[in-house]
Structure formats: C-alpha cells, structure tokens
Structure 1
Amino acid sequence: MKAISYRRYGGPEVLEFGERPDPKVGPDKVLVKVRAAAVNPVDWKCQAGYMDTVLDTVFPVVPGWDVSGVVVQPGVSVPEFTVGDEVMGYVREDVLCHGTFAEYVAAPVRTIARKPRNLTFEEAAALPLAGLTAYQVLTRALRVREGETVLVHAAAGGVGAMAVQLARHLGARVIGAVREDGVDRARELGAEPVAYGDGFTRHVRALARHGVDAAFDTIGGPALKDSANLLAPEGRLASVADGEVVGLGGQYVFVRPDAADLATLADLAEKGVLTVRVAKTFPLEQAADAQRANMEGGLQGKVVVTVDWTT
C-alpha cells in the first residue's frame, strides 16, 4: 500500500511517501480503506520525539491517529462491523508504528465507530481526537452541569470548537477565549468571545463576576495560570496542554480511544448538535505540507489528508 512514514525523529522533512506492507488484520481489528486522516499537533510532536519516554517507537512509523474510511475486512472476533460499513476512529495504539496516513489501517475495534451519515469523510476524519478530547474533559474531568459557566481556551480551534458546542449542549454558558481573528467563529459556535491580550482576565471577570465554574485549558503556560485565577471558589480546572495544572489543583487529561464515546459524538453530529469545520485538505503525498499547515496554526478548522481512490 501507499503510505507516509518516517525512519527517524524530526520535522516534516523526515516524512516519506512510498510503499509500505499491507497491515495484518488481528482478531480484534478491522481493516479500513482510508478515505481521510486528520492532522493533529500530537502527530508532529510524536514525530519530533517528544513522546519517546511514553510510547515505544518501532521505525519506520506511519503517523496519524484520526481516520475515516470504509471497512474492507473485519477481524474474526469482530461482529460489530461488516464489509462496506463507513467508519471513523481515533486509532491510537500502545506502540507508535502503524498510523492512519496510509491507504489502509488495521484499527482495533475499541478505537472506531460508525461514521455520521451527514458528514463527509473529511469532516468525519476531523472529529474523533478533537471531539473525544472535548467530550472526556467536559463530562469526566470537569463534570460540567447545566447552568454553569465554562471558560474554553482557543475556542475557535479544533478541540476548542468541539468543547464550545458540547458545553452548550450540556446546558452551560460558555466564555470563549480566542485570538482577535477567532471572535466571530466563537460567537457563531455559541460562546461569548473574549480576545487574548491586554485586559483579558478583566474582560472575563466582567462576564463572570464571581468566577467561572470550570475552565478548559488547551494552551498551557500563562493561559493555564489565568484560568486558575479566574475560577470561582469551588471551580474546576483541566488542561490537555500543561501538566502544571496538577500543582494548581486541576486535572491533566490525555484523550483515550473509546468506541462508546465516539458513537455518542456520531449521534450528536447526526442530530446537528456538533458541526465540524475543515480548513484545508491535502492529498496523501503532500502530508508534509499538511503537517506544516497544522504547525503554523491560526486555522479555524482542521487540516485533513485525503486518499484518492478514483485512479
């Protein structure tokens, strides 16, 4: 099969497009014909070696954890899916080796769910990691309840946009922290936007005089410290970007694959509760350019790599 891979740690320049062996389909796996794979910061962070102390790496590595596609072969112990099913997944395994930037991926059944019928393959590929992150933080780490006020950082970004929509669905009021160019997007999603910069904490306090009930940090550093200072007396804090959150009395969250959570997200997408914005797409062979676009940031939507099966 055609795939993107890298044989050593580094930046986009280490990515190679070429032939890789077809994946083996274990008993608990599903062979997926890939239609699209989203790019996430964790992809290029793993590629740079930042996760070397956490995940064993077997070179060459095919990057990518987000995917959408069509089932072509279920494993012998997988009755949940049949050939032709359209699926999406957050295909993270315990070893960094077999990713989704390829024509095929053998996905553990615990990592996939049926694709929302109203989303394109590109949109569906952009949903799993960002959606699961937002869902697991809001419902488990922060336990957001109806009537509460939630501060969401980078509210126009991939995870932030999911968090705004899900928090609103849970009945919360959302204050969306954004760059100036993200104000309209945050408001469109249902948040009350506050732009970063001078007076940021003052402006948030003007909206939530007694502090926010929950704060969702996706940036770390000063944003995390601001979040801690903006909490109400019994407020909760969670971060997906900075482990220092623990010292501030909050919780650090690393998203985990969960088929049931994915199915919930798919249902919410089909009901129109969740929308997904794709900012840019690149063909598989241009994955390095897709990665650069993600690294540059500032996009109000996801970067997605597509696999062309028309030729």
Structure 2
Amino acid sequence: MKAVTVPRFGGPEVLRVTAVPDPSPDPGQVRVRVYAAGVQPVDLAIREGRAPLGMELTPGLIPGNEFAGVVDAVGAGVHDWAVGDEVLGFRLLGCAAELVVADATQLVRKPAGMPWEHAGALSASGQTAHLALSTLKVGAGDTVLVHGATGGVGTVAVQLALAWGATVIGTASARNHDHLRELGAIPVGYGEGLVERVRAVAPQGVDAAFDAAGRGALEASVELVADRSRIGTVVDYAAAGRLGAVGIRGQRTAARLAGLVALWEAGGLRMEIAEAFPLERAADAHRLVGTGHVRGKVVLVP
C-alpha cells in the first residue's frame, strides 16, 4: 500500500509517500481501506519528533490518528464488523495510508449520508472538544468562551456547547465572524484588548473558557473566569500549570464518537472542511494546518 511516512523528524518537507507492506488484522482487529484521514496539529508535532505524553516515536512511522473508510478484512473473533461495512474510527498513528488496522472497538458505523471527508475528520477534533467541555462541566445557562473557535476542535466545541444549552463567545479573525454567527456563537476578535471585548458582549460574566488556540488565551481567560477549574486547554499545558488552569487530556472512546455521529445525524453538528489533499500532497496539508488559521479541518484522501 501507499502511506505517508516520516523517514526523519523535521519540517513538512521530510514527509514521503512510500510503498509499505499491507497490514494484516490480528485477532480482535479490523482492516479498513481509508477514504479520508484527518490531519491534526498533533500530527505536526509527531513529524517534528515531539511525542505526545506516553508515546515513543521512531523514524519511519506513519502519522495520522483518525480515519474513515470501508472494512476490507477482519481478524479472528470479530463479529460486529464485516467486509464492506462503512466506518469511521481512530488509533494512534498509521492512518495517513491506503489501509489501516484498528481494534474493532475503535470503530463506529458511518451514516450513509455523511461525506467521507466529514467522517474522516470527526473523531479527533470531535472527541477532544467533547472531552474538554465535559471536563469543564459546561451546561445549560453557562456562558462559555472558546478560543480558536473556527478551528477543527473549536468548531465542534462551539456547536456542542450550544447543544448543551450554553451561550458561546468565540474568538476568531474578522473574516470568520460571520461563520461563527451562522453557528450561533457571538464572535470576538483575538489579540490585544480581548478581555475588554469579551466583557462588552458578556456583561453577565463568563463561566468557563476552553483554549484550543494558545497564544496567550489562558492569560486572558483567568481575567474573565473566576473558577480556574473551569478554564482548560488542549494546547498550552505549561501555561495551565503556571496559572492553575486545567491541562485537558483523556482517552478517546467509540461511545463518545457514536454520540457525535448521532448529533451529526440529528442536524446538530456541522463539519467544516478547509481542504482535502491526496496523500502525495501531505506536506502541503501539514503546511496549511501549521499556519494556525484553518477554518475547520484538513483531510487526506487516499
């Protein structure tokens, strides 16, 4: 099969598309022919050799941690999935390829009407947003500030918070303010003066803040939210430790992913795809994500 590989750690230019042996499913596993695979900021960190907590990296790895496609082989003991099933799922590494093997418990059935690009981009951002808002105890009546509200994680976080009954203020560049209004959020520009702009649109105060952007978002949040246990980040763990905020980490689960799929089917979750690239342009996909100004998700389409 063809796969994106990292023969040495470095910038986007190190990525190569190479022929590697087809993976075979072990007992309890399923092999999926990949139709779409999302690209995350963590993929860029891995490409540079910066391992997430608890992960050991070796050159030659295949990046990617979410995918959607069609089951084409099942391992012994797998009874819930069959060849031809359309699925979306997740695993650590290996997804930026034509074929991926995953544990059968890490898959969810893809709705017939869900575009492949949306299915391939839902798991990582969707589950991160869901975990973050759950950790921060966001619920009905809250006013929530989402930093990086039009990125992959932020877009889902905005919609989940609204679905859970919160009022949402989202930071974004001016060109994305109309998009945030369409989602139902109150947009504010990031940068100098952010605290004052948020106070102007939320005189009642802010109950929780979720940082999916970095760049000083936590420093602004502690001026706006009284309870620091309700300020969390998935990007700036050093600042969280320094300020007494929450560095959000957790495990992805098929149950959480299934809930997100159900919300999509009900019309309560809209996915935004910034651009889709073939495997051969994986470096361009990484460069685009690396700008930090992507609206929605970038995907690879083998």
Which residue in the other structure is 2:45 paired with?
45
2:299 aligned to 284, 299, 304, which one?
304
Q: Which amino acid aligns with 2:292?
A: G
Contact preservation (8 Å) 1:29, 1:75: yes
Alignment identity in percent?
A: 44
Which residue in the other structure is 1:119 paired with?
114
Q: Which segments of structure 1 move beyond 6 Å, counting only runs of 4 or more? A: none
User: Per the alignment, do residues 203 and 103 of structure 1 end up closer, same or farther by CA in structure 2, a change over 3 Å counting?
Assistant: same
State the Cα distance separating 1:115 from its structure 2 match.
Answer: 1.7
Listed one character per residue, the Cα deviations across residues 33-64 of structure 1 (whole Å, up to 9, x for unaligned) are: 10011111110111101117741123311111
Q: Which amino acid aligns with 2:198?
A: V
Q: Which has more strand, going by share of residues?
A: 1
Deviates more, 1:244-253 or 1:124-133: 244-253
Q: Which amino acid aligns with 2:28?
A: D
Contact preservation (8 Å) 1:33, 1:105: yes
Which residue in the other structure is 2:133 paired with?
138
Q: Which amino acid aligns with 1:175?
A: I
Contact preservation (8 Å) 2:229, 2:246: no
1:270 aligns with 2:245: no
Unpaired segments ≥5 residues, structure 2: none
Q: Which amino acid aligns with 1:58?
A: T
Report how many aligned residue pairs link the two structures. Answer: 301
Alignment of 1:173-188 (within 5 A): 173-188=167-182
1:215 aligns with 2:180: no
Q: Which amino acid aligns with 2:241?
A: V
TM-score by length of 1: 0.92
Q: Which amino acid aligns with 2:192?
A: D
CA distance in 2, matches of 1:228, 1:269: 33
Which residue in the other structure is 2:251 paired with?
256
Give the alignment's Cα RMSD to 1 decimal: 1.7
Q: Which amino acid aligns with 2:172?
A: V
Give the match's secondary structure for 2:182.
helix
CA distance in 1, matches of 2:256, 2:67: 16
Contact preservation (8 Å) 2:3, 2:62: yes
Contact preservation (8 Å) 1:91, 1:257: no
State the Cα distance separating 1:113 from its structure 2 match.
Answer: 1.2
CA distance in 2, matches of 1:290, 1:231: 35
Alignment of 1:82-161 (within 5 A): 82-92=82-92, 98-139=93-134, 141-161=135-155
TM-score by length of 2: 0.94
CA distance in 2, matches of 1:207, 1:41: 30
State the Cα distance separating 1:206 from its structure 2 match.
Answer: 1.8
Which residue in the other structure is 1:26 paired with?
26
CA distance in 2, matches of 1:250, 1:200: 19
Unpaired segments ≥5 residues, structure 1: 93-97
State the Cα distance separating 1:112 from its structure 2 match.
Answer: 2.1
State the Cα distance separating 1:232 from its structure 2 match.
Answer: 3.6
State the Cα distance separating 1:203 from its structure 2 match.
Answer: 1.4
CA distance in 1, matches of 2:222, 2:53: 28
Which residue in the other structure is 2:6 paired with?
6
Which residue in the other structure is 1:162 paired with?
156
